[in-house]
Amino acid sequence: MQHDPSTPLLQLKNLQIAYGGIHAVKGIDLELAKGELVCLIGANGAGKTTTLNAIAGLLPLEGGDILYNNTSINTLPAHKRLRQGIALVPEGRGIFTRLTVEENLRMGAYSRKDNDAIEADLEKVYTMLPRIKERLEQIAGTLSGGEQQMVAIGRALLSRPKLLLLDEPSMGLAPLVVEKIFEVVQSVAKEGVTILLVEQNANLALEFSQRGYVMESGKITLTGSGDELLADPKVRAAYLGEAA
């Protein structure tokens, strides 16, 4: 889907976040149109995870605005943001290690009452993640890292997100598994879910994304289409391991 600035689903305006006296995010502007897959790349400590956590309602703002469907959600608690369609797959997956895979997935639908639709959505997730379907009764903590990541994504999908925030989905995973995870991300995007992806693997993130933002020390320093950023010598030198 093309980027249509007339229908931003999410807008960050002069977003500022501080904790422990440190300004982690220093007045950034960012927007996502409905149906877009956009990535946020940058070095460790740039403020990317902080930005996602603020959008999800897990961190208070120091200043600025988060607009979702043209409405400010600055003071909306996290559980209400989830009900409005904002789901976060956190860094490190955050699955319930002592519950079974199926219990983990069903936790994603805890705020829903439409039981028939929940069952239908579970079937959709099983189709998208066949490896997970084979392991429904397994305790989630005994899965491989890649399988846990798929459970975390599946759980988020059961909340029926309009906006999916993905924090480092490839972290610590083998290249083949990463490829599989990104195929899943792509199929979620094709279903029309808007995705904001934070990813250490800049090459992969930009390849899959329509647009990208580069974040350095709490500020957005570059923005462009995935292809433009992939071709940018500064990006190539800083994040793709090429000599400038």
CATH number at residue 125: 3.40.50.300
Residue 64 located in a structural domain: no
Residue 213 within a domain: yes
On whether residue 31 sits in a domain, the answer given is no
Question: Does residue 7 sit within a domain?
Answer: no
Helix (H, G, I), strand (E, B) or coil at 52: helix
Does residue 198 lie within any of the structural domains? yes
Q: How many domains does the chain have?
A: 1
Nearest to 122 by CA among 139, 106, 142, 145: 106
Question: Does a structural domain hold residue 200?
Answer: yes
Domain limits for position 192: 36-49+79-239
**Residue 3: closest CA among 224, 235, 232, 228:** 224
Q: Is 40 within the bounds of a domain?
A: yes
Quick one: which of 11, 157, 32, 159 has its CA closest to 83?
Answer: 159
Per-residue tens of pLDDT for the chain, all 244 residues: 455 556 799 999 999 999 888 899 999 999 999 999 999 999 988 999 999 999 999 999 999 999 999 999 999 999 999 999 999 999 988 899 999 999 999 999 998 899 999 999 999 999 999 989 999 999 999 999 999 999 999 999 999 999 999 999 999 999 999 999 999 999 999 999 999 999 989 999 999 999 999 999 999 999 999 999 999 999 998 887 765 4
Residue 66 lies in a domain: no
